[in-house]
Amino acid sequence: MSVLRLLPKRWRERIRNYAPRGFPDSPSCGAFYDARARLFRDDEAASLEYSSLGVQRRIFARAVDALPPHGRVLDVGCGLAHLHDYIIDREFPIASYHGIDVSAAMLDAASQRIGGRENVSFEQRDLATRPMESSSYDVAYVISVLGYPIGRDPMASMLSLLRSALDACADGLVFTHVMDGRSNRTLAFPTDPDRLAEECALVLGADATIFDNGEDFTYLMRLRKSSKR
Ligand SMILES: C[S@@+](CC[C@H](N)C(=O)[O-])C[C@H]1O[C@@H](n2cnc3c(N)ncnc32)[C@H](O)[C@@H]1O
């Protein structure tokens, strides 16, 4: 049982809703999620900072519409690896699933859930500083991972991670980001979809497509290695 159960409800809510302004580097971000994974081990949505697992599944649905899972799937910042379950439930024909995360506690929990399954593997890795072999996966998903500013130049940190993820894929990737103006939440690192798509094209040389349903503050972007490169 989590120690949170011993606290009054309003304290639990305050801890659940606590969001830092950013992190100096990705290991600190990992430490934050380590703490959440341990504190909220009875509440998976809370540990992942989703308001509910229904919200998470709606984002997964948008992600697989934008880029259907196939072949070797890389889940960057996999958390509890719920994306794996979603892909299997929807019967996408994948060959393997590899989840990476900077948080050891998230990976422990994910491995306990589904670690024994065939063609499922996990690894503690910060993709921004430890890239993977080029085209060693077919598709990658980076879902609800990039919402906090990291380091002194958050845009450069985000693009560096996306560069590594895109290079690791033979086909392409989908990532999520957040925009201002559609939520009363204070977002730590909002971006403008058109401007971010331009940056991805310019800096990563990627073909970038925005997927925005006009309602949510979360939007998605699909990146493919540009045919012009
Ligand atoms: C909000 S959770 C989302 C988990 C999962 N993608 C989902 O949607 O359920 C964000 C996860 O990203 C991980 N993460 C953040 N930065 C990372 C990085 N640079 N490399 C790998 N994992 C990272 C965190 O440790 C955390 O587990």
What pLDDT is attached to residue 30?
Answer: 97
CA 100 to ligand 1 centroid distance, Å: 8
Domain ranges of the chain: 3-225
pLDDT greater than 70 at residue 1: no
* Domain 3-225 fold: Rossmann fold (3.40.50)
Write out the DSSP string of 71-112: EEEEEET-TT-HHHHHHHHTT--EEEEEEEES-HHHHHHHHH
Q: Is the CB of 161 under 6 A from ligand 1?
A: yes
Instruction: Look up residue 71 and give its two tokens.
Output: 């072949």
The Cα–Cα gap between 68 and 173 comes to 10
pLDDT, tens only, 18-66: 889 999 999 999 999 999 999 998 899 999 999 999 999 999 999 999 9
Q: Which of 78, 51, 58 is nearest to 142 (CA)?
A: 78
| Closest residue by CA, ligand 1 atom 11 | 77
The Cα–Cα gap between 115 and 97 comes to 11
- Mean of the per-residue pLDDT values of the chain: 94
- Percentage of residues in the chain having pLDDT higher than 70: 98
User: For the ranges 46-50, 138-142, 184-188, which has the lowest average pLDDT?
Assistant: 184-188
- For 156, what's the count of Cα atoms within 13 Å in the CB-facing half-sphere? 5
pLDDT greater than 80 at residue 2: no
Mutate which of 28, 75, 84, 102 for ligand 1? The one with the most ligand atoms within 8 Å of its CB, which is 102
